[in-house]
Amino acid sequence: MPRRLLFLAPQVPYPPHQGTTIRNYNLMANLAEDYEVHLLCFQQEGDDPVGNTPLPRLLTVVDSTPAPKRSTTRRAITTVTSRLPDMALRLASDTYQTRLGALLEQYRYDIVQIEGIEMAPYGLWLANHPLWRSARVN
């Protein structure tokens, strides 16, 4: 059975039309040759639904949640009131975090690949998640 990899991305990596999407799409396509790759990404407003892309044929699991919306005013307020940098808050989403937790409960991952500095809070959350920590000990 191939090793299982969870790929966390800040946007749907298709179509591969700019730096981030080109890199992430090609990383996943190459990893899918040797791994069972699962994707959890943010769906930006106006993007084609992730199910309407070639990704479901390439990957084992393809899931997305709506990208959070933060107004300029809200960003300005949190920049002043939060100890975290704006980039760490840019994609903060309880919905995404809940879905990530559900995937951890449903599957055992050998590797989690986190793409993009704006996704770092999910890596920190994951490092302290009991299911991920216990999986690393076994």
Q: Give the model confidence (pLDDT) of 103-119 as tens digits.
A: 999 999 999 999 999 99
Residue type, 8: L
Contact present, 64 and 40 (Cβ < 8 Å):
yes
Is residue 12 predicted with pLDDT exceeding 50? yes
Residue type, 123: G
Q: How far apart are CA 50 and CA 52, in angstroms?
A: 5
Q: Give the model confidence (pLDDT) of 28-55 as tens digits.
A: 999 999 999 999 999 999 888 898 999 9
Task: Give me the domains of the chain, ranges plus CATH numbers.
Answer: 3-137 (3.40.50.80)
Q: What is the pTM of this model?
A: 0.89
The pair of three-digit structure tokens given for residue 30, joined into one six-digit string: 């190459």
